[in-house]
Amino acid sequence: MENEEQQQREFLEKMRHSASHVLAQAVLKLYPDAKLGIGPAIENGFYYDFDLVDPLEESDLKRIEKEMKKIIKQNLPITQVTMKRKDAEEYLKKTEQIYKLELIEEIEGEELSFFITGESEFADLCRGPHVDTTKDIGAIKLTKTAGAYWRGDETKKMLTRIYGTAFETENELNTFLKNQEELENRNHRKLGKQLELFALIPEIGQGLPVWLPRGYVMRRIIENYMLELEENAGYLHILTPHINKKELFETSGHLSFYKESMYPPMEVDDETYYLKPMNCPAGMMVYNLSQKSYRDLPYKLGEFGTVYRYEKSGELHGLQRVRGFTQNDAHIFCTPEQLEDSINEVLDLLDVFYKDIGFTKYRFRLSLSDREANPKKYAGDLERWKQAEETLRKVLIDREVEFEEMPGDAAFYGPKIDIQAVNVFGKEDSVSTLQLDFNLPDKFNIRYIDAEGKEQEPYVIHRALIGSFERFFSFLIETHGGDFPLWFTPEQVYVIPISDKHHEYAKKVYEELDNAGLRVRLDDRTKSMQSRIRDAEKMKIPYIVIMGDKEIETETISVRTRKNKSEGLMKVQEFIDNLKEEVRTKEPFTPEGDN
């Protein structure tokens, strides 16, 4: 079964790679002056980069797609040929393919591989593999265009990238496109704007998101939740400055191996400071403020610390990839005997957190060393590494969770567990991490006194349940599609009077709900009732309370849920009690028709 799945994946990759060649062929047919970049298969599709004289319009994509389908229908053979380097250079100069000429300079050997479609209709520099004929490509669809710097280098020319996808059958293609449409509806950037959660303001800076009032309400609720969860587990919380002296990062090693991702230094009073890229060095300094004995361990320091890392502008993406973000950091200092229990406690907290937040599907990835092959790659003592890796593996096995081992993926300073949350369409994102560190304890001389009065180096666990709030919220928004569980949704209730004569009663109900601790808004604007209801639905408000003559007469409220379902007339206190129970149990929202 596994072999069949592997073969299927390999065939799809070949098919999509071949589709990218057909795309290039179609573009050259319609735009003979186009210059070709590269065109690989990617997850769920393919792309090709072009240097075009004029920008493409939406109608141009349809035209290119139509030409691609003509080529596919011809059932043209796709065959591999080799050319001597000199012949290849002459051919590419003759066809004025300047980007391909640049590529062959980096290819070793005198024989260069090309793939030809048809007799001689189209030839492209490529090592393959490809399907046998264009008819094997199946159902295709061009999806979008984007700008892409040649070779990903911002100093080079911006090319036009055309994206597409290909599946064996039309049914598979249509299912994929339908899912993509739903994914776009859940896009955190689109929903973030619609629901007024965050903004990226150019005048403030690229990659520096601003939390708007509604988004900050959510963030503050989850911060307070996490603070209480960690305090109940024995964590002590600190807050360290946004800038630190150069000497701290020299000690930690960041200036020698991480400087390119750090912002430039600041000179103040003959001292050099940096915006911190990580909270860890300052956390080590806090630990060292007083001597610790084995009786003080495990010692658990938590911090909601904001860090800054320079990311290239082309890699910034909504809340997923930013330059300033706040981490739900923690550092656990423990003895070897406490290591297993400490790891289990972190995973116990994670189980509670994921359940409450509504993440029901997640996988574990265990990143290990390959010390035998690369003994000089890793910091720390070999035996301590072995114990750490064996303990991480044992914990995951004992908990009977699905996990994948990744030899060679460990950081140089220690093995780790990454938690991959899976969204409703099966897309994975790394959300939480648990990382052992054998580097910083040594650099900062982190020690404790054992039962025999001897100095020992503790195990140090870096742990981030939320990871960064920014990246976490991008996944949270897309997972729930903006329909958040009641306990952390920005506003829980909108109160809407039908007309002016119902305002007084509406205000009285609003005050009762507000006094009960519910997040409520009174919408008594002059707009029509239906218009105000539509506004509430657009903002995905869980409950809409409407009141008119009947509600005033019976001293009730008419309740409507975001499922567009009427709950009928209800006493205000009954409504309050129902919502408080929903908040207490952290009940997830289930759209109409879902189980």
- Give the right CATH number for 493-585 from 3.40.50.2300, 3.40.640.10, 3.40.50.800, 3.40.50.300: 3.40.50.800
Pairing of strands 78-84, 198-199: unpaired
Could you give the percent of the chain with pLDDT greater than 70?
97
- Among 21, 416, 540, 560, the active-site one is 416
Which residue carries 């140089």 as its tokens?
412
- Among 25, 97, 320, 327, the active-site one is 327
Element (H, E) at 430: strand 428-437
**Which pLDDT score, from 0 to 100, does residue 425 have?**
66
Contacts of 255 (CB under 8 A, 6+ apart): 246, 249, 262, 274
**Which pLDDT score, from 0 to 100, does residue 462 have?**
95
Phi, psi values for residue 396, rounded to 5°: -65, -40
- Among 462, 463, 502, 521, the active-site one is 462
Q: Is 74 a catalytic residue?
A: no
Which residue carries 């776009």 as its tokens?
184
Query: Exposed, middle or buried by CB within 10 Å (0-12, 13-18, 19+), for 337?
Result: exposed
Each residue of 385-422: pLDDT tens digit? 888 899 999 999 999 998 999 888 888 888 999 998 87
CB atoms under 10 Å from CB of 457, counted, come to 17
More confident residue, 356 or 388: 356
**Which pLDDT score, from 0 to 100, does residue 152 have?**
83
CA dist list (Å): 527 to 301, 491, 499, 530: 51, 20, 10, 8
- Among 309, 463, 480, 502, the active-site one is 309
Q: Is 563 a catalytic residue?
A: no
Q: Is 327 a catalytic residue?
A: yes
- Among 331, 365, 519, 562, the active-site one is 331
- On the question of a cis peptide bond just before residue 298, with omega within 30 degrees of 0, the verdict is yes
Are the beta carbons of 125 and 103 closer than 8 angstroms? yes
- Among 16, 35, 97, 280, the active-site one is 280
| pLDDT above 60 (res 1) | no
- Among 60, 124, 329, 418, the active-site one is 329
Are the beta carbons of 226 and 276 closer than 8 angstroms? no
Contacts of 21 (CB under 8 A, 6+ apart): 39, 78, 115, 117, 122, 124, 126, 130
Q: Is the dihedral of CA 522, 493, 470, 460 positive or negative?
A: positive
The topology (CATH level 3) of 206-240+290-480 is BirA Bifunctional Protein; domain 2 (3.30.930)
**Which pLDDT score, from 0 to 100, does residue 55 have?**
86
Are the beta carbons of 56 and 162 closer than 8 angstroms? yes
CA dist list (Å): 116 to 25, 120, 125, 129, 135: 10, 6, 9, 12, 15
Q: What is the mean pLDDT of residues 235-252?
A: 96
> Read out DSSP for 231-269?
HHTT-EE----SEEEHHHHHHHTHHHHSGGGSPPPEEET
For residues 126-156, one letter each, b for 16 or more C-beta atoms within 10 angstroms of the residue's C-beta and e for the rest, the string is beeebbebbebbbbbbbbebeebbbeeeeee
Give the number of C-alpha atoms closer than 13 A to the C-alpha of residue 228, restricted to the C-beta side.
7
Each residue of 534-580: pLDDT tens digit? 999 999 999 999 999 999 999 999 999 987 788 889 999 999 999 99
C-alpha 262/C-alpha 267 separation (Å) is: 15
Pairing of strands 362-368, 403-407: parallel
C-alpha 70/C-alpha 140 separation (Å) is: 12
**Which pLDDT score, from 0 to 100, does residue 595 have?**
38
Q: Is 317 a catalytic residue?
A: no
Q: Where are the domains of the chain?
A: 2-185, 206-240+290-480, 243-278, 493-585
Beta bridge mates, 159: 148
- Give the right CATH number for 2-185 from 3.30.980.10, 3.40.50.620, 3.40.50.300, 3.90.1300.10: 3.30.980.10
Q: Is 331 a catalytic residue?
A: yes
**Least confident among 119-128, 333-342, 366-375:** 366-375
**Which pLDDT score, from 0 to 100, does residue 461 have?**
95
Confidence of residue 424 (pLDDT cuts 50, 70, 90): low
Which tokens hold the place of 313? 């502008």
pTM above 0.85, yes or no: no
Q: What is the mean pLDDT of residues 359-385?
A: 80
CB atoms under 10 Å from CB of 441, counted, come to 22
Beta bridge mates, 327: 305, 468
Q: For residue 530, which of 552, 499, 561 has the smallest C-alpha distance?
A: 499
Contacts of 318 (CB under 8 A, 6+ apart): 188, 189, 192, 200, 474
Confidence of residue 375 (pLDDT cuts 50, 70, 90): low
Q: For residue 73, which of 3, 138, 21, 4 has the smallest C-alpha distance?
A: 138
Element (H, E) at 503: helix 503-515
Q: For residue 360, which of 223, 485, 230, 486 has the smallest C-alpha distance?
A: 485
| pLDDT above 60 (res 249) | yes
| pLDDT above 50 (res 594) | no
| pLDDT above 90 (res 54) | no
| pLDDT above 50 (res 91) | yes
**Which pLDDT score, from 0 to 100, does residue 410 have?**
84
CA dist list (Å): 534 to 245, 496, 527, 574, 589: 53, 11, 11, 25, 19
Confidence of residue 203 (pLDDT cuts 50, 70, 90): very high
Q: Residue 414 gets which letter from DSSP? A: B
- CA 336 to chain centroid, in Å, comes to 33
Are the beta carbons of 470 and 322 closer than 8 angstroms? yes
For residues 561-578, one letter each, b for 16 or more C-beta atoms within 10 angstroms of the residue's C-beta and e for the rest, the string is ebeeeeeeebebeebbee
* Residue type, position 504, single letter: E
Pairing of strands 45-51, 35-36: antiparallel
More confident residue, 182 or 304: 304
Which tokens hold the place of 498? 């039908």
What secondary structure, in 3-state letters, does 76-99 show?
CEEEEEEEEHHHHHHHHHHCCCHH
Give the number of C-alpha atoms closer than 13 A to the C-alpha of residue 76, restricted to the C-beta side.
22
Each residue of 501-511: pLDDT tens digit? 999 999 999 99
Confidence of residue 207 (pLDDT cuts 50, 70, 90): very high
Phi, psi values for residue 291, rounded to 5°: -70, 140
Give the number of C-alpha atoms closer than 13 A to the C-alpha of residue 29, restricted to the C-beta side.
19
**Which pLDDT score, from 0 to 100, does residue 2 have?**
54
| pLDDT above 60 (res 87) | yes
| pLDDT above 70 (res 581) | yes
Q: What is the mean pLDDT of residues 199-220?
A: 96
Q: Is 188 a catalytic residue?
A: no
Please give the mean pLDDT across all residues of the chain: 91
Alpha-carbon Rg for the chain, nearest whole angstrom, is 29
